[in-house]
Structure formats: C-alpha cells, structure tokens
Amino acid sequence: MSFLEALFEALSAGGTEALTYVAAHALTGQNLYLHNTLTKELEPFRPLGKKVLMYNCGPTVYDFATIGNLRSYIFADTLRRTLDIFGYEVKQVINITDFGHLTSDADEGEDKMTKGLRREGLELTMQNMHTLAGRYMEAFLRDIEAIGVNTKTITFPRASDYIPQQIALIERLEKKGFAYQTESGVYFDTAQFPEYGKLGSINLSGQQAGMRVEASGKKNPQDFVLWKPDAKLGWESPWGMGFPGWHTECVAMIFALLGEHIDIHTGGIDHIPVHHNNEIAQAEAAAGGQFVQYWMHNEFITIDQNRVGKSQGNAIVLQEVKDKGLDPRALRYWYLTGHYRTPMNFTWEALEGAATALKRLQQAYTSLPKGEIDHKFLESFFEAIGNDLDTPKALALIWENIKVLNQTTLAEADKVLGLGLADRKVKPSDIPVEIKKLAEERESARMAKDFARSDELRKKIEEAGYEVKDTDSGPKLSKK
C-alpha cells in the first residue's frame, strides 16, 4: 500500500490505530512488512491499538546465554528499534523463566534449573533456585546491554512473581472445560481446542508417538501440563503443591502485563511446534479471539551445522568473545549480516571479519562531516528494514554509500542497527597500521626530496580512503 492509500484509508477509518500507522509512514516514508509464521506470509504491519504490544520469549536463567540465544534478543531488539523509528509507541516484555517446572516442554528429560543447581553443587531448594536464577538473570541483562539492547525500555518479569496469575489462568481453563486432572498433574485437553497446532511445524498424528501417555494418564499425546504436582517443592495451589507448566507462564504474564490480545510475539524457531502452539491453545481457549496478530521467529545459529546449545555441548557465551579481545558489538554486527530468518553458521573467522568491518564503520563515521539528513538514502535504507528487517541489505547500502554519507544520516540509520556509532569516539590510533606505515614512508621520501615517491605514496593513502596533510607540527593523517 502506498503512503497516499494508507492516508486515505486512515482518514476514512478515522481510528487511532490508522493514524498511528500514518504517523509511522511520515517518519520513514516506508511501509513496514513483517513475516508472520501464522500465515507464512509477509504482511503489512497494522497494530491493534495505539501502542504496539510485543512479547519476546525470554531465557531460562540457569546458565549464561549462548550466542544462539543472543541472536533471539538481537532480532527482538532490531524489531523494537524498527517499530520505534517507524513512529510506534511500543510496550515490550521479555520474560525470565526463573524456576524449574520439573518437566521440559515435552514432559520429559531433566529440568534446566535442576541441572543448573546440580552443576553448581547446590541443593535443590526453592531458595537456591531463586538465588541461582537471580545471578544468571543479572548476567543475561549485562550481556544484552553489552550488545546494544536498551534494557531500560523493556519489562523483564520473573515467572516466580506471577504464580497467582498462573493459577488463575489454569482455573479459568478448568471452568471452561479445557483442563482435566490425572494423578500426574493438570493437563490442557487439546481435543477441546480444534485449532490446536495452527502455528504449524507440528505433526499431530505422529507427535511424540510412544510418549508416556499411559504413565501420565493423558488423553492425547499432545496434551500438555498446566500444573505439575510436587510433594516437596513449589507453591500451594488448588491442585496441591507443585509448579505451573512452562507454557502457562508466558500466557499468564502476557495477560497480566500486555493484555489478552497482543500485536507481536517472538522466539526462536524451536518454540513453534510445542511452546507457541501451546501458548495459543491456552490463551485463545481462555480469552477467545486471536491471541497474537504477528508471530515471528528467528532461525538458529549453528556451529558445523549443529544448533548452538547447552545440550549440544557447543555453547559459546559472550565472555569468550570478550576474552578474545573482540568488541561485543561485533557479535551484533555479525548477526545483522544475516537475515533473522536465515540460519547462520558461526566461526571465529566470521566474527573477526565482523569486528574488522565494525571498526572500519566506526572510523568512517568519525571522519564523516555532520550535515543535513540524506532523505533519499534513508528512504532506501528504511525500505530494506521495512521489508521484514532486511539488515544484510541495509548494511550493504551503507557500505555502497559510505563516501557520500554524513554523520547525521548514518546516526539515524544506526538507530535501527544499534551499533553505537554515535556513542564512541575513534582515536587517531584507530587508523590502520598499514596506512600509518605508508604515511611514515611518504614522510621519509619527502625528507629525502624523492617527491615522485612521496606523491605515489600519497596517492596510495588516498586510494585507501585516508588523507595526509602537511602541517607545521608534521604530517596529519585523517579519514577522507
């Protein structure tokens, strides 16, 4: 839809959401299209109301976040920055899973928090779980801040602070006939929700075949736990002591903090088949209507084609990036070189390449003049971003135009990229060693009155994008 068509529609509709939409156009001159996992299509973004309500599935804080997990939050952050710059007011929530459910999302395997406690030689108690989670939550916040996420604009609820809301949600489902109790817990009855699995990526007939249906007393293999009893640990509830199910936590916090119908929900692709299908089932069974308008998912980071993850034993964390002397924002730059819906294979060489590119960009930024905003450039830049966050294209546009851009325009583009270009000063020491060497050679040639050679070297320096000026205090190098 063109800007004029949008304006016309807004005027005839007269609603605040339409006006918000037009305001967004006015800022960037572009439409925002997002890929929706629910429809598998690129759709023009239209918020439900005046504020965009966005929820990003957050970490289980039992260990440090991996470079796989961090991609999820850079994707969410790029989306947030895009919404901001397109003129929307955004309410953003990232949950913190801070207690075990003593069951994984597939109702099998060991709970992550329990694993974390054992790793650190701590006894399995509620207090220890809370303390361990607190420690890794802080580490998580530090990590995402280091890669350019502004945590002050996001709400980070801890799941353990929302137990009454989770219990209330389960009771609501029970009253509506969507839940049943067995000896092993309270379950969501997926047979009562005909649209179950509509987000896709789920094989209903063969799903978890042979899973412990008999043992749990579940009616259908895909039924999932809403309340898991535990004799020793957890919270009191109408179904005895225990823990709410993991899928329940997200819905209860969304209802409490954002409302029953929200605009955007994100996560990694691994969450599509079970976790997010289960969130939809609970939310839509409880509240009716469409729970989320736009479901968005990022692809995996892999190493040697294996997904990066703790259980895969190939987890790299941000501290390792720092230990190698690399700028954490280089990781952000590297993520941005791939589209969020494309898998990316991590190598240290690739990250080093990103660090070099980022350094060049910082140097270029420092040497550029300030000036008027280049609207033509920003139009094509935001067209790329508005096309489902095409960051690789947006970065390519910057490099293609770097010689003619000014600082003001680049700072505007960086509001979406989050590379912190305007936050840092590039010192003269950031001029590459090769260039400094050329300048020294030129100076020696000049002193020796070999002007042909010194001109040749000046040319080389200029071709590399730098210039050398002879001043009273000696030659001065700068970026062109």
Chain residues in the site for ligand AMP (CB under 6 A): 57, 59-60, 68-69, 71-72, 267-268, 270-271, 298, 300-301, 307-309
Handedness of CA 219, 222, 226, 228 (dihedral sign): positive
CA 18 to chain centre: 27
Q: How far is the CB of 268 from ligand AMP (least distance, A)?
A: 2
Nearest to 50 by CA among 31, 22, 79: 22
Nearest to 188 by CA among 161, 157, 164, 166: 166
301 binds, among Zn ion, ligand AMP, none (CB under 5 to 8 A by kind): ligand AMP
Among residues 308 and 378, whose Cβ is nearest to ligand AMP? 308
In DSSP terms, 197 is beta-bridged to none
Q: Is 262 in the site for Zn ion (CB under 5 A)?
A: no
Q: How far is the CB of 275 from Zn ion (least distance, A)?
A: 6
Q: How far is the CB of 371 from ligand AMP (least distance, A)?
A: 39
* Euclidean distance between CA atoms 28 and 244, whole angstroms: 44
31 binds, among Zn ion, ligand AMP, none (CB under 5 to 8 A by kind): none
Q: How far is the CB of 57 from ligand AMP (least distance, A)?
A: 5
216 binds, among ligand AMP, Zn ion, none (CB under 5 to 8 A by kind): none
* Euclidean distance between CA atoms 227 and 171, whole angstroms: 10
Q: How far is CA 36 from CA 76, 132, 199, 341, in A?
A: 14, 36, 10, 11
Q: How far is the CB of 208 from ligand AMP (least distance, A)?
A: 19
Backbone angles phi, psi at 426, to 5 degrees: -90, 125
Among residues 72 and 363, whose Cβ is nearest to Zn ion? 72
68 binds, among ligand AMP, Zn ion, none (CB under 5 to 8 A by kind): ligand AMP
* Euclidean distance between CA atoms 360 and 315, whole angstroms: 29
Tokens (6 digits) for 155: 């709400």
Strand order in the sheet with 51-56: 154-155, 89-94, 51-56, 262-268, 292-298
Using the rule CB under 5 A, give the single segment among 2-10, 49-57, 169-177, 218-226 that binds Zn ion: 49-57
Q: How far is the CB of 57 from Zn ion (least distance, A)?
A: 4
Total chain residues near Zn ion (CB under 5 A): 2
* Euclidean distance between CA atoms 277 and 197, whole angstroms: 5
Quick check: 415 and 84 in contact, CB under 8 A? yes
307 binds, among Zn ion, ligand AMP, none (CB under 5 to 8 A by kind): ligand AMP
Q: How far is the CB of 452 from ligand AMP (least distance, A)?
A: 56
Quick check: 65 and 143 in contact, CB under 8 A? yes
Coil, strand or helix at 431: coil
Q: How far is the CB of 354 from ligand AMP (least distance, A)?
A: 17
Residue type, 147: I
Among residues 49 and 309, whose Cβ is nearest to ligand AMP? 309
Q: Which residues are CB-neighbours of 478 under 8 A, at least 6 positions away?
A: 367, 431, 466, 467, 469
Among residues 171 and 279, whose Cβ is nearest to Zn ion? 279
Quick check: 205 and 221 in contact, CB under 8 A? no
Quick check: 96 and 59 in contact, CB under 8 A? yes
Q: Is 252 in the site for Zn ion (CB under 5 A)?
A: no
Within 120-162, residue ranges assigned H as helices are 126-146
Q: Is 57 in the site for Zn ion (CB under 5 A)?
A: yes
Quick check: 148 and 77 in contact, CB under 8 A? yes
- Within 10 angstroms of residue 268's Cβ, the number of other Cβ atoms is 19
72 binds, among Zn ion, ligand AMP, none (CB under 5 to 8 A by kind): ligand AMP
DSSP code at position 97: B
* Euclidean distance between CA atoms 79 and 416, whole angstroms: 8
Among residues 53 and 410, whose Cβ is nearest to Zn ion? 53
Among residues 71 and 329, whose Cβ is nearest to ligand AMP? 71
Nearest residue to the partner ligand AMP, using Cβ? 268
Q: Which of 250, 281, 398, 419 binds Zn ion (CB under 5 A)?
A: 250
250 binds, among Zn ion, ligand AMP, none (CB under 5 to 8 A by kind): Zn ion
Q: How far is the CB of 80 from ligand AMP (least distance, A)?
A: 15
Q: How far is the CB of 265 from ligand AMP (least distance, A)?
A: 11
Among residues 85 and 318, whose Cβ is nearest to ligand AMP? 318
Tokens (6 digits) for 416: 């979406």
Nearest to 380 by CA among 367, 390, 365, 366: 390
Q: Is 292 in the site for Zn ion (CB under 5 A)?
A: no
Tokens (6 digits) for 217: 């007393």
Give, for 188, the enclosing helix (H) or strand (E).
strand 185-188
277 binds, among ligand AMP, Zn ion, none (CB under 5 to 8 A by kind): none
Among residues 57 and 154, whose Cβ is nearest to Zn ion? 57
Among residues 268 and 386, whose Cβ is nearest to ligand AMP? 268
Among residues 296 and 395, whose Cβ is nearest to ligand AMP? 296
Tokens (6 digits) for 307: 């997904």
Among residues 33 and 156, whose Cβ is nearest to Zn ion? 156
Q: How far is the CB of 306 from ligand AMP (least distance, A)?
A: 9
237 binds, among Zn ion, ligand AMP, none (CB under 5 to 8 A by kind): none
Residues in touch with Zn ion (CB under 5 A): 57, 250
